[in-house]
Amino acid sequence: MRDAAVRSPQARGSSAVDASVLAQVDAVIERYRGKEGALIPVLHETQEIVGYLPRCVQSRIAGALRIPESQVYGVVTFYSFFAMKPTGRHKIGVCLGTACYVKGGAAVLQAVKQASGADVDDVSSDGRFGVEVTRCVGACGLAPVLSVDGDIYSRVSPDSVPEILARYT
C-alpha cells in the first residue's frame, strides 16, 4: 500500500521525486546490496514505491549497486512491466485491434479520453488514470473491449464509459 507522499510524483505527472520517497528507495537498495541478481527486485520494489522508474532514480540505483547506468536502463526498457513515465493509479487500455476497431473502438477511446481527462500515453492531471491503446487482447468476440487495471469490459459503448471509470477512485 502506498502512502500519499509516495503517490505524489504520479499525481503531479512530474519527474521530480520527493526526498521521502528517495529515502524509501535507498532502504530497498540497502536490503539487496551485495546480493546476486539484485537489480530486478530492486527495480520492482522501487516502481512500487515511486510508481515508475525515471532516469534520476535509475541513476541512483546504478550508483548504489555499482553497476553501469546503461545496464539499468537496458533492463528497464527491455521488460514491459517497467515504466519510465508516470502511469496513473489506474491503467486503462482501449483495444484498437481490428475487431474492436470495426465495432466502435475509436468512439470508446474518445469517450475514455473525455471521461478520464487523459490523452493516449498520458496521465490525467489528478494522477488517477493512465490511458493506452492496446492491440488485440484475445477477446474479439466481445468487441469492443476496454480494460481497467486488468479488469476486462466487453461490448463497451461510449455511453457506458463514465460509469465504468467511476468504479476506480
Q: Give the nearer residue to ligand FES in terms of CB position, either 75 or 139.
A: 139
Report the nearest approach of ligand FES to the CB of residue 72 (Å).
34
- Calpha distance 46→58 (Å, rounded): 10
Task: Find out whether the peptide bond into 68 is cis, omega within 30 degrees of 0.
Answer: no
Report the nearest approach of ligand FES to the CB of residue 93 (Å).
10
Q: Other C-beta atoms within 10 Å of 88: how many? A: 26
Residue type, 82: F
Q: Give the nearer residue to ligand FES in terms of CB position, either 53 or 146.
A: 146
Residue 70 within binding range of ligand FES, rule CB under 6 A: no
Q: Give the nearer residue to ligand FES in terms of CB position, either 54 or 144.
A: 144
32 close to 41: Cβ distance less than 8 angstroms: yes
Please select the residue that binds ligand FES; options are 139, 158, 160, 164, rule is CB under 6 A. 139
Report the nearest approach of ligand FES to the CB of residue 147 (Å).
10
Alpha helices in 66-155 (DSSP H): 69-78, 98-102, 105-116
Report the nearest approach of ligand FES to the CB of residue 158 (Å).
16
Cell of residue 75, nine digits: 533492463
Exposed/middle/buried for residue 15 (C-beta within 10 Å: 0-12, 13-18, 19+): middle
Site residues for ligand FES, window 98-137 (CB under 6 A)? 98-100, 136-137
By CB under 6 A, name the binding residues for ligand FES. Answer: 95, 97-100, 136-137, 139-140, 143, 145
